[in-house]
Structure 1
Amino acid sequence: MTHTFGPAQARDFLQRYADKISAHAQELTDLDAAIGDADHGSNMQRGMQAVVAALPAEGNPSALLKSAAMALISKVGGASGPLYGTALLRAASSQTDKAEWTSEDLRAALEAAYAGLIERGKAQVGDKTMLDAWRPALDALQKGTPEAAATAARAGSDATKAMLAKKGRASYLGERSVGHLDPGSVSSALLFEALAEALA
């Protein structure tokens, strides 16, 4: 993987993610209605609209991701705002002063984001959360391309259908959580798809 992630790619990534969230907002809300609060799609759509509206005209990738993180944390209720906001903030903080990120910088930033998700969400892989999309994506990115990471994220998300939820509101359902996709894993798969497209 020899992609550079500069301001143009960072901006494109955030815009593409906002567009994907808008396109899938109803699907995400429907998934959340089955095992959660029925607000993941609407929350994420509102948050990503705020992200795009708040993007500064200038700035390196770190500044753009930090702006996005702050918008998500301030605008999105529930768990998704703090989780995605923490992830983007950790990614931004890992590479603060670089005008462009190398492939290695981007991988390090995404690993920092993942560590932030674990710390904030207190979950682990297999708990039927967004981590089940993130970990396979990051593992694929270590060995391959952003496209491979997006494919792995989607497969990881699909695998949550058979899982028993151990974290979040879905965990209150016990066995009834089995048979439903985790909404956060689906929105995470969309994130890796947006990233792959921005880097293509």
Structure 2
Amino acid sequence: MSAEQYFTALHAMAEAEMARLNALDAALGDGDHGTTLLRGLTRAKGAEDGARAKAFMRASGGASGTLFGLVLHEIEQHLEAGAPLAEGLARAEARICDLGQVKPGDKSMVDALSPAVAALQSGDLPAAVAAAEQGRDATVEMTARRGRAQYVEAGGKGHIDPGAVSLTMMLALLAETEGAA
């Protein structure tokens, strides 16, 4: 699958999931996570080869645009240039942890990304998706230590992290499309 096909499919997925992602985000933040992703992916979908993740970052804006853009950049490099996915996502994880001052257990997208990166060390993308799903689901019982969710009653405990949900969707789509290729 090409990066163009992946970003087109991801845009369609974000369009279909926008309301659900916004509702998940409304419980923990400002309720615009799905809208933000869709805005960035709309711009990325029309961008030139090699510039999709950057277009996403510019259009989506804010902290989440940058953080998700780091993941999308590595996926784009993997699809366009054959860059190793495990190394790229590990690099994205390190940058996200540094920029967001977050670590696993803080109730963020990193709770899905970190176990996925660890599972990818064996080169198994389906196992990475399963690990991301487990990490995503674990955020329900976590108390947020970063982001807007930390200010919600009980730090958002009892609610799933929307960033972990969308990160898992991105990886699942990649596994699905690479499996079909």
TM-score, structure 2 normalization: 0.89
Residue ranges of structure 1 left out of the alignment (5+ in a row): 1-7
- Post-superposition Cα deviations, 1:142-191, rounded to whole Å, max 9, x if no partner, equal 22521221121112111100000001000112515100011100010001
Q: Which residue of 2 aligns with 1:86?
A: 70
Alpha-carbon distance in 2 for matches of 1:170, 1:77 = 19
1:69 Cα shift? 2.0
Q: Which residue of 1 aligns with 2:175?
A: 196
1:81 Cα shift? 0.7
Q: Which residue of 1 aligns with 2:137?
A: 158
Alpha-carbon distance in 2 for matches of 1:99, 1:155 = 29
Aligned sequence identity (%):
37
RMSD (Å), alpha carbons:
2.2
Alpha-carbon distance in 2 for matches of 1:168, 1:49 = 25
Please tell me the residue identity of whatever aligns with 1:160: T
Alpha-carbon distance in 2 for matches of 1:153, 1:166 = 20
Please tell me the residue identity of whatever aligns with 1:81: G
Q: Specify which structure has the bigger relative contact order, considering alpha-carbon pairs within 8 angstroms and separated by 6 or more residues.
A: 1
CA contact (8 A) 2:107 2:145 kept: yes
1:85 Cα shift? 1.8
1:128 Cα shift? 0.1
Q: Which residue of 2 aligns with 1:4?
A: none
Aligned residues: 179
Q: Which residue of 2 aligns with 1:114?
A: 93
Q: Which residue of 2 aligns with 1:13?
A: 6
**Runs of 4+ displaced beyond 4 Å:** none
TM-score, structure 1 normalization: 0.81
Residue ranges of structure 2 left out of the alignment (5+ in a row): none
Q: Secondary structure at the match of 1:129?
A: coil
1:84 Cα shift? 1.3
Alpha-carbon distance in 1 for matches of 2:66, 2:52 = 12
CA 1:25–1:92 in 2, change beyond 3 Å: closer, same or farther? closer
CA 1:155–1:92 in 2, change beyond 3 Å: closer, same or farther? closer
Q: How does 1:113-132 map to 2 (within 5 A)?
A: 113-132=92-111
- Post-superposition Cα deviations, 1:53-73, rounded to whole Å, max 9, x if no partner, equal 11x2xx4xxx2xxx1221122
1:31 aligns with 2:24: yes
Q: Secondary structure at the match of 2:121?
A: helix
Please tell me the residue identity of whatever aligns with 2:98: E
CA contact (8 A) 1:164 1:174 kept: no
Alpha-carbon distance in 2 for matches of 1:18, 1:170 = 26
CA 1:197–1:175 in 2, change beyond 3 Å: closer, same or farther? same
1:198 Cα shift? 2.1
CA 1:136–1:34 in 2, change beyond 3 Å: closer, same or farther? same
